[in-house]
């Protein structure tokens, strides 16, 4: 089995990198990629555990780009995590996450549901602050029964305390990843519903489209497989496993057929 979309405690997952890789192996996964949000912090530990267990491993990041005020998640793979350009870019991403978190906290306070953001940031270290972490702080403060409830009411796109992100456009991210020697796939298009971006990004050098995903039903898989073929893109896939109780995405629940992985990686460089 092949899972190219997982998250660890380096971003907003519940399992440390080595534990996640061990869980993947136990689930029967033979090829795994750790794709934490805007950070490479967990890749070294994940790589060492994958080597120890005999798994084929791909370095990955889920990079958040911005298009018309909305988040676009792009999965980058097969780059050199030690590239100096990656570190500089990701630092900018982290700085914007903190800026955004502080604006969200101000809106929450205005709405009468204050949180201690500094404490949430400190608890999250070395993880980068994210909306799920803010949602957990809201649940901990008694403003919501669950993290999912806090997110859907206040923090999701269009929520009461939603603040748009600033940052690189999807086309800029594709260009950057290509300069690092990597390949890019658009994450969970059935969730983000930005189909109009797929063909233009293919023209900019995006190599793949995440057709297989825990939140894609059979109709969505068929739709995005057809779009991938029409745009000349390879197909990618993964569980988007976070390991949190309210996530509903399990390791091994989604597997990418091996021929699609070979097609995707052949487009590197």
- Tokens 């136990």 locate to 26
Q: pTM of this prediction?
A: 0.87
In whole angstroms, give the CA distance from residue 5 to residue 62: 8
Residue 124, pLDDT above cutoff 80: no
- Segment 148-156 shows an average pLDDT of 90
- Segment 94-103 shows an average pLDDT of 90
- Segment 122-146 shows an average pLDDT of 85
Read off the pLDDT of residues 1-47 as tens digits, 9 standing for 90 and up. 999 999 998 888 889 999 999 999 999 999 999 999 999 999 999 99
Residue 248, pLDDT above cutoff 80: no
Confidence of residue 116 (pLDDT cuts 50, 70, 90): very high
Question: pLDDT > 90: what percent of the chain?
Answer: 74
The answer to whether 159 and 51 are in contact (CB under 8 A) is no
In whole angstroms, give the CA distance from residue 212 to residue 77: 16
Residue 4 host element (H or E): strand 2-6
In whole angstroms, give the CA distance from residue 81 to residue 217: 33
- Map out the domains of the chain with their CATH numbers: 2-82+170-265 (3.20.20.140), 91-155 (1.10.150)
């Amino acid at each position: 089995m092949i899972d190219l979309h997982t998250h660890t405690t380096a971003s907003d997952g519940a399992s440390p990198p080595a534990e996640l890789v061990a869980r993947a192996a136990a689930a029967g996964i033979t090829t795994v990629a750790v794709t934490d949000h805007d950070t490479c912090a967990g890749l070294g530990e994940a790589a060492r555990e994958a080597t120890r267990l005999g798994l084929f491993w791909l370095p990955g990041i889920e990079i958040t780009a911005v298009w018309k005020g909305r988040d676009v998640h792009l999965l980058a793979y097969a780059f050199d995590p030690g590239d100096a350009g990656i570190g500089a870019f990701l630092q900018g991403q982290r700085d914007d996450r903190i800026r955004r978190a502080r604006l969200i906290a101000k809106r929450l306070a205005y709405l009468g549901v204050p949180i201690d953001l500094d404490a949430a940031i400190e608890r999250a270290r070395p993880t980068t602050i994210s909306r799920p972490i803010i949602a957990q702080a809201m649940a901990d403060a008694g403003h919501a029964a669950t993290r999912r409830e806090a997110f859907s009411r206040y923090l999701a796109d269009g929520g009461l305390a939603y603040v748009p992100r600033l940052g690189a456009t999807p086309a800029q991210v594709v260009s950057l990843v290509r300069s690092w020697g990597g390949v890019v796939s658009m994450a969970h298009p059935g969730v983000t519903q930005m189909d109009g971006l797929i063909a233009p990004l293919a023209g900019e050098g995006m190599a793949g489209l995440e057709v297989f995903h825990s939140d894609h039903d059979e109709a969505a898989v068929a739709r995005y497989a057809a779009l991938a073929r029409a745009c000349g893109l390879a197909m990618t896939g993964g569980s988007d496993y976070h390991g949190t109780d309210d996530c509903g995405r399990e390791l091994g629940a989604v597997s990418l057929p091996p021929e699609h992985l070979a097609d995707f990686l052949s487009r590197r460089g």
